A and B are shown apart, each in its own frame.
Chain A
């Protein structure tokens, strides 16, 4: 019977922990969980809180996660940590924000001016180039 298990803690932006451990304690959505080697396969959501990993050498690693998913398979225990606190209404607000921005960008006349400005600059640059070419042919 195995006395240790492979534990991987990752977030979308980076890998946080990877190594052997004898136990992992996390805050599941239905309550605290302790995972030991040979735990039955499990998939659960995590609440914001600490994930504590006990390594083979008896050290304890404490990793704060702002929610996420815990997967237990016969070989590997994986914690997929969220990168931020997630709540349905927060996401909703962010979504509304981006929609508003899109509408603004579509209605925005200032962007048209920028477009015109860019074209003027381009014309100037082209004229300069033409002048240089003329100078060159004269020499």
Chain B
């Protein structure tokens, strides 16, 4: 019975792997549900602040905030959101590949790039790639908090305010559905003009501001940017879980296929050993 024992050992090891991938699939599925809830919970704030920004755009302000002013692009900033852990299919790879393509594009125009990373997969990759990483946040865990992101966001906002970067993008994955996630690049700064939904504001319209319009405007726009980035992170987390679920399902299926094949090989080996033994006995009996 040549190799039968080895094959049995192999089957056992594949079965163990299958158990692990199956468990990971189920964990990812339950985390994904929670992540999706969190994604939806973040939506009201994003909508509300968006409408505040839209209202402010309608108000007759003579003051133009730097966040809304388009400048010549000499240097761009990216906030790149990836997962902390692997085993989630092509999620991070697709995003980083798209980022590299974009970076090459800017490069050919002679524009330099600064990158702030959120999630540990990006920083490792970008270091090998040789990108200029200016800030890094990772290990946010399963409940990304706004507080954890503020540092990374502030680095970029400050760089924008002092004119070190002239544009800021958010690179993250968009949750299309459970099976599909797509890398997207959203322009965060300068803020694109937000149109108010056709609501009932009078055409001549302004707020009373407390303390004064400049300060309030500054805070509102900052919060607006922060909320966009928070949304990106929460959405990316949901993407990570669903990508992991799909990848682990595929792995479990593959392991099943592998086990079937190995069992076939094992049975054949066993059968041929028996046949051989019988023919040996028959041969021996004939010789007597």
Mark A residues whose CB is within 8 Å of B.
Answer: 8, 10-15, 18, 28-30, 40-45, 69, 71-75, 78, 80, 82-84, 86, 91-99, 101-102, 105-106, 111, 115, 132, 135-136, 138-139
Contact = CB atoms under 8 A, between A and B. Distances in A.
A80 B210 contact: no
Contacts of B51: 78
A75 B220 contact: no
B135 A99 contact: yes
B151 A115 contact: no
Given A43-B207, A71-B52, 6 more contacts: A8-B48, A13-B45, A41-B206, A42-B209, A73-B55, A106-B133
B270 to A, nearest CB: 10
The B interface is mostly helix, strand or loop, or mixed, namely: helix
Interface in B118-136: 123-124, 127-128, 133-136
Interface string B40-56: 01101110110110011
Nearest to B213: A43
Interface residues of B, number: 63
Nearest to B199: A75
Interface in B59-109: none
A98 B158 CA distance: 13
A136 to B, nearest CB: 6
A29 B136 contact: no
Interface stretch (B142-150, B162-170, B182-190): B142-150
Nearest to A28: B210
Contacts of A71: 52, 55, 207
Contacts of B200: 74-75
Given A111-B127, A132-B262, A12 B147 contact: no
Given A69-B220, A80-B45, A139 B268 contact: yes
A139 B208 CA distance: 83
Given A44-B216, A95-B154, A98-B151, A15 B56 contact: no
B45 A11 contact: yes
23 contacts: A12-B45, A12-B46, A13-B41, A14-B44, A29-B210, A29-B211, A42-B208, A45-B211, A45-B215, A75-B200, A80-B48, A83-B147, A91-B150, A91-B154, A99-B135, A101-B135, A105-B127, A115-B128, A135-B6, A135-B10, A135-B262, A136-B265, A139-B264
A101 B48 contact: no
B2 to A, nearest CB: 9
B52 A43 contact: yes
Interface stretch (B20-28, B222-230, B238-246): B222-230
A106 B133 CA distance: 8
Nearest to B49: A80
A107 B49 CA distance: 39
Contacts of B57: none
Contact of A102 (B135, B158, B219): B135
Given A13-B145, A69-B223, A135-B7, A95 B208 contact: no
